Structure 1
C-alpha cells in the first residue's frame, strides 16, 4: 500500500526538485555540486527498468564518484572548469563526464519518446540506444545491453515504479526532461566544441531555449 512515508522516500518528484537547482550560468557553465547531487537521483529512473539495466546503473554511479574524486584537488565550481583544469582527453574527470553525458543523452532520448509517443517501452529504449550509446559500445557490451532490454517492464509498470499514479508519473517525467535539458545541452556542446566527442550524437534538440518550447518541438518532431 502506498503511504506518505513511501511517497517521501520514493516519489520521482524529488528528481524534479533537485534538477531545478542546477542553474546554468550565463556563460553556459554547469555548477558541479548541484549537478552531481541531482545526477544521483537519476538512478531512480534506471531502477525502474529493473535488474536488466544494472550495468547502466553501475556505470552512472561509478562516473559520479569519479567526478567527485577528480575534484578533490581541483575544487572547481563548474563541470567545465574541472575538465579544463584536467586538460587531458584521457583524464579521470573527462572520461567520467563523457560517459555520464552519454548515459543522460540515452535516458533523455528514451523518456522523451515514452511521453510523446505511444510506442512500447522496448521500442523507445531501442531507438534511444541506437542513436546514443550503441555507437560507443563494443559488441560485447551491446549484447549485454540487449539482454537487459528483454527484461524491461511494460510502459505501465515502468510508470508505476516511479509513481503509483500514471498521470503524475508522466507529468513528473516531462518536468524532469525540461529541467535536465539546458544542463545536458551545455555539456553536450562543450564536448563537441572541444572535440572530445565523436560518437554519441543523440537526437535531442541540443540548443538552449524556452523549456516549454523545446518539449513542444520535440513532440512535433515525433509526430511527423
Structure 2
C-alpha cells in the first residue's frame, strides 16, 4: 500500500525500484522493471522540455517491450531477448536503448549528488560518456539544444520534492536500487555481443552499490 505522500513525490520511484530484485542468475524480472521504469519519467519531467527527446525514447521503448512480450510472456528481460533470438528484434533494440537511457540518467544523477557541479555540466559529462557515441549528428544537435534549457540544481530538486535535502536523499536511494538491475542488463548485452562496448563510467561495474555512490566522479576532459 502506497501512502499519499509517496504517490505525490519522488519517493514512489524508490519504492518501485526496491521491488526490482535481480535473480541469482542475474536475470531481471520484466514486469517489476517496466513498472519502475515508467516512474523514471518523473525525473525526466523535472528537467523540463529540454529532455523531451529522452522522455519520448524511454516511454516508447517501454511500450515496445510490453508489445514484444505479449505473445512470448517471458518473466525476465533476458528471457524475452533470448526468446526473440534476433539482434534486430523489437525487444532487443527496445531494451538496448532503454538501457542506454538509464545509463545516461544514472550517470547524470550520480554526478549531481556527489559533486557541486552545475546541472548543465552534470548532464554534459553524462551525455558524453553514454548516449553521445550512439547518437547521429542530427540527434546530438537536438540534445544540445535541449541542454540549453536546463534548470538550476535547486529548481530541479524542487520539482522532485519541496525539500531539497529529501530530494537528494531520494535520488541517492534510487541510484542504489537501480545499480544492480542496470549492471545485469549491461553485462547481458556484452556477454551476448549485442553491444560491442558499454561506454560510460563506474555505474557499469558490479561493485557494492552504496560504495559506488560514495566514489567521486573524476572527468579529466571537462
TM-score for the superposition, normalised by structure 1: 0.93
CA distance in 1, matches of 2:130, 2:66: 25
Residue 45 of structure 2 is matched in structure 1 by: 47
> Does residue 31 in structure 1 map to residue 29 in structure 2?
yes
Residue 189 of structure 2 is matched in structure 1 by: 191
Q: 1:136-215 counterparts in 2 under 5 A?
A: 136-198=134-196, 200-215=198-213
Residue 127 of structure 1 is matched in structure 2 by: 125
- What's the Cα RMSD here? 1.6
Residue 113 of structure 2 is matched in structure 1 by: 115
1:174-212 deviations in whole A, cap 9, x for unaligned?
Answer: 000000000000000000111111364111242333322
Q: Are the equivalent residues in 2 in contact too, given 1:106–1:133 (CA < 8 A)?
A: yes
Shift of 1:8: 4.6
User: How many corresponding residue pairs?
Assistant: 218
CA distance in 2, matches of 1:177, 1:8: 17
Residue 11 of structure 1 is matched in structure 2 by: 9
Runs of 5+ unmatched residues, structure 1: none
For 2:94, which of 93, 96, 106 is the aligned residue?
96
CA distance in 2, matches of 1:122, 1:199: 26
Runs of 5+ unmatched residues, structure 2: none
Q: Quick one: structure 1 residues 167 and 223, their matched pair in 2 at CA, closer, same or farther if it must change by over 3 Å?
A: farther
CA distance in 1, matches of 2:96, 2:208: 25
